[in-house]
Structure 1
Amino acid sequence: MSPERRAKLERLKAARVVMVDDEPTTLDVLEMFLEAEGYGEITKISDPQQAIDRITALRPDVVLLNLMMPGVSGLDILTVMRADHELKTIPVLIITGSSDGELKRRALESGAADFLSKPVDPSELSLRLRNTLATRAYREGRTAPAGSMPAPSKGQPELDQRRVRFIMDTFLARLRPKLDEMDASVAQGDVVNLAGLAHWLKGAAGTVGLHAFTAPAERLGELVRAQRLDELPELMRTLRRLCDEAEADLAASGSRPC
């Protein structure tokens, strides 16, 4: 490796990246993407209510922020950051599965630097993050503009396939206990927990690219909001069937079973 390349990679390793998302699976997947590109200082925050305190303490170089979170939204966090004298210079990349143009406009007005859509494409994540960091560094006079930062690694096909299988394994390993929790919540009539689980399923499945779960997750949320709990057992059977099929596909491709 050339000295120039080594120096550029060291800058990546030194970049402090904070990720805020209420879904741990999304955070795990994003962390894997970033580690594969050479980032070493990554902090995951799954409780949005703790985000401002953690960001204030950590002083990251960039924040990856989910826009749609229950309780405290990404827009709430962004608004607080932009009103804070010390936090307002930290660039924020918004990650969202929403197609709401008005919501995106409000985020831009609040100071968002860029957007990434779920499911997050690792190459796009790498490029946008690299350019955002380089732009900030250039403005602060610390390094050259974006072109001087290391380009995202293209990887090898077999490595990319291993990454895909790892992502699917991670999601499915979390999905089984979540389905058990859903069944228990259905039996107890716990609509609050079911609403949170529906939100988790839609966001996590979309992030890892398992789109077969998206429509059932949306349906789950609709039924919970309408209090139509008698229709949930059939939907749960559909979700378990989809999980079985996904695990079978992974086993056939050579990945370890969950």
Structure 2
Amino acid sequence: MAQDVCTTQQAASLLGMSVTSVQHLVESGEIEAWKTRGGHRRIPIAAVHAYMTAIAKTPAGGGDETFTVLIVEDNPIQRGIYEAQFASWELPVRVRMCENGYKALIDIAAMRPDALLLDIMMRGIDGYEVMQTVLAYPELADVNIAILTSLDRDQLEQRGGLPAGVTYFSKPVAHDELRGYIRACIAQKARRTPGK
């Protein structure tokens, strides 16, 4: 039976991502797991292979099946870093950049992105306001939202905290963790979309 399960570390090695990324996948329900009496997470090998298969089957082409990510970041250097990272990952994503919250709200309404990566500290309409606006619309309930910020959790609490389902990344962002998050979002969409 021990050969049928693996630890979070072993799953991370099999998937080529960080332990934290695997933990995100487990917590979001993308990879099945359970905890032992001692509190150690165990993951069925079959669940790891099922996740790998779901990623492999996600279309890499264009069209409605392409996974769209909108990154809202006012720093042009940071936007360039994100662009380079996403290009190097070779994931089936279309990335759009946006430099302020006002334009972000227009783009979100027009393109309905699958994932929204938000910088918090921006002039005018900031990332926190964009997040609250998106969460207020039931038709945008499927949008995955992640906050990428230099603010710590205590500072975010002063703004009202993060709602359930919103993921927090501290800047500087660990790119392997962000990649794992995007892969989890892609797998989640693939499971929601009936196969052809």
User: Larger relative contact order (C-alpha < 8 A, sep ≥ 6)?
Assistant: 2
Structure 1 residue aligned with 2:135: 82
Structure 2 residue aligned with 1:103: 156
Structure 1 residue aligned with 2:94: 41
Specify the code of the residue in structure 2 equivalent to 1:127. Answer: G
Q: Is the 8 A contact 2:69 2:96 kept in 1?
A: yes
Structure 2 residue aligned with 1:25: 77
Residues 63-88 of structure 1, C-alpha deviations (whole Å, 9 max, x = no match): 11111212111110011101113223
Give ranges in structure 1 of 5+ residues lacking alignment: 144-258
CA separation of 1:125 and 1:83: change in aligned 2, threshold 3 A: same
Structure 1 residue aligned with 2:60: 10
Measure, in 1, the Cα distance between the counterparts of 2:77 and 2:165: 23
Structure 2 residue aligned with 1:125: 178
Measure, in 1, the Cα distance between the counterparts of 2:103 and 2:75: 14
Rg larger in 1 or in 2? 1
Q: Percent identity?
A: 25
3-state DSSP of counterpart to 2:117: strand
Q: Is the 8 A contact 1:21 1:45 kept in 2?
A: yes
Measure, in 2, the Cα distance between the counterparts of 1:90 and 1:107: 19
Identify, as 1 or 2, the structure richer in helix.
Answer: 1
Structure 1 residue 18: Cα displacement: 0.6
Measure, in 2, the Cα distance between the counterparts of 1:50 and 1:82: 17
TM-score by length of 2: 0.61
3-state DSSP of counterpart to 1:106: coil
Measure, in 1, the Cα distance between the counterparts of 2:56 and 2:193: 20
- Taking only aligned residues, the RMSD between alpha carbons, in angstroms, comes to 2.6
Identify, as 1 or 2, the structure richer in strand.
Answer: 2
Aligned length: 138
Q: Is the 8 A contact 2:68 2:95 kept in 1?
A: yes
TM-score by length of 1: 0.47
CA separation of 1:129 and 1:75: change in aligned 2, threshold 3 A: same
Measure, in 2, the Cα distance between the counterparts of 1:81 and 1:33: 25
Residues 77-117 of structure 1, C-alpha deviations (whole Å, 9 max, x = no match): 011101113223211011001114251583422x5521111
